[in-house]
Structure 1
């Protein structure tokens, strides 16, 4: 019909309320998590839960610093319903130290430039065009504080992610950077609700120390057999035995070595895990912020192809 608008996707949002606690003025909710979703009208592939990293927020998946659509849009176009979370204490999932415990300071622009060097852009040409400052300021404006207690923050992430998985059914978890820590725990608690795990530039290996962040005694290192589904072997190393896992690494990332060693650790445990290094796909120059960089469509395609291969979805 002339003038008819065809609906291609639907979208919305909701809260995972969190834990009830008693405050001076009454009952409060601690560790709430905002979830923004979009789905094709006729989904053709597994739902995907996007978990941002460090001091970031869900917008990391929705857009890039130069204003293009982010990975979430790429996955919707490939037929996946997507659920983009703001981890408790980040983005719209607001936090207050009186309720949630001490917070770190926000990431200064100098630190943003070091961690996301490839994302910010290097060289005189980028600086002359103003691209470097534009991207740097976009990244810096989106960065916020983190829980000072890294392990406690990861536990809250895992609690809320488990609740989300129980609402939406089996899904693929795609995490970036520190977002992987709570994702490992959530998946180990509900392995039957996780179709696959994609860890983009995750911290690791377990029990290492990241300067300015802390010791990695949470995430993989904190998976307790008591938390694991009792229908699965109670050894945490086997809790993810039926879940395909990929660790995506970038050649220019300062965290490349740790992420690669983590992939090796997972393989050594006998898990169905592998590393996908971007340079193996002809992608050079990417750094830790590979989901945000100028070739983000190409980096997303690497993950979509891996999912299509492992999950049997047709590439669209």
Structure 2
């Protein structure tokens, strides 16, 4: 196991006033000159290479909006996440903190980036991730919260899950795509498992450089890029439960179905159609997520060449 940073660019700032700050407790003031060169839009990558690889090439994990690579690691209830699951299946696993998240860092704003971040409330996460039963289902007191009665999310650990949410920006999509392309150019053709916000970005990457993408697994992608007309990357889209009562996900579901209908290489794994109900938007954290990982594992082994 190890880690590295990849991609990014350099930006020069000038004409900014200098100032002084005490940087450490009990320390002396430091004169700070904000003028100079900044390293921005790089991506942090951690890798795990099993002793006995399965020969199917690297598997790259790309998290969703307001999240980091922690989404694929230990689940909120303390159980092993998908990183451990797929390492045990012999995959070379790469877990990323996308541009502007976690250990990748971010740029000064508004000096370099034009705007500040969006930070999600726990109320919004509880409802929008289809854990709670719609708007206003979250309360600070767990006893007052209302959840879907068949939810597979470990409700007792929702507060633990919220602690991994981080600020996100809305203008860095192309920078994220560029960083993942740089990663694939470094490690060679790979398969990607992505979630939510990263779904349409990974599809754009697959469409732009298909030679770098062997297969794509999109966990509830938050959109379908309108500009994609031809698409050739084998893609599995996994959809969870309790979608019927969510207007936003109903509209997204229509777009996803239309996309799959236009492209033979795209398959939709509808968990409810399989009789698996109650999965949240973060289904890789639900209590049946290992069963879902098994479906993904089978699809990958069937799809990828020997």
TM-score, normalised relative to structure 1: 0.77
Report the counterpart of residue 162 of structure 2 in structure 1.
Answer: 140
The CA RMSD measured in Å over matched residues stands at 2.6
In 2, the alpha carbon distance for the partners of 1:174 and 1:304 equals 11
Structure 2 counterparts to residues 139-178 of structure 1, below 5 A? 139-149=161-171, 153-178=172-197
Gap change, CA 1:17 and 1:46, over 3 Å in 2: closer
TM-score (norm 2): 0.79
Q: Is 2:56 the counterpart of 1:43?
A: no
Q: Given the superposition, is the C-alpha separation of residues 187 and 237 from structure 1 closer, same or farther in structure 2, using an over 3 Å criterion?
A: same
1:261 is displaced (CA, Å) by 2.2
**Cα deviation, residue 85, structure 1:** 0.8
Q: Distance in 2 between matches of 1:280 and 1:117?
A: 18
Instruction: Map Cα deviations across residues 235-290 of structure 1 (whole Å, 9 max, x no partner).
Output: x422x32x111110012244542443233222333341111011244422111110
Structure 1 residues 1-316: aligned runs within 5 Å: 11-24=1-14, 25-44=35-54, 45-96=56-107, 97=109, 98-118=111-131, 127=142, 134-149=156-171, 153-204=172-223, 206=224, 220-221=225-226, 236-238=228-230, 240-241=231-232, 243-253=233-243, 254=246, 256-311=249-304
CA contact (8 A) 2:77 2:157 kept: yes
Taking structure 1 as reference, are residues 289 and 199 closer, same or farther at Cα in structure 2, changes over 3 Å only?
Answer: same
- How many angstroms apart in 1 are the aligned matches of 2:260 and 2:7? 36
Distance 1:258 1:166, change over 3 A: farther
1:119, distance to aligned residue in structure 2 (A): 8.5
- Structure 1: runs of 5 or more not aligned: 1-10, 207-219, 224-235
Is the Cα contact below 8 Å between 1:34 and 1:86 reproduced in 2?
yes
Give the gaps of 5 or more residues in structure 2.
15-34, 146-152
Decide whether the 8 Å contact of 1:162 with 1:189 is kept in 2.
no
Distance 2:157 2:255 in 1: 29
> How many residues matched?
267
Which whole-Å CA distance do the structure 1 matches of 2:254 and 2:210 have between them?
A: 23
SS at match of 2:61: strand
Residues 79 and 281 (structure 1 numbering): CA distance in 2 closer, same or farther, change over 3 Å? farther
CA distance in 2: counterparts of 1:281 and 1:304, whole angstroms: 16
Q: For structure 1, which segment, 101-110 or 49-58, has the greater mean C-alpha deviation from structure 2 after superposition?
A: 101-110
Which entry has the higher C-alpha Rg, 1 or 2?
Answer: 2
8 Å contact 1:249–1:259 — kept in the other structure? no
Q: CA deviation at 1:303?
A: 1.0
Contact 1:30–1:99 at 8 Å: present in 2 too? no
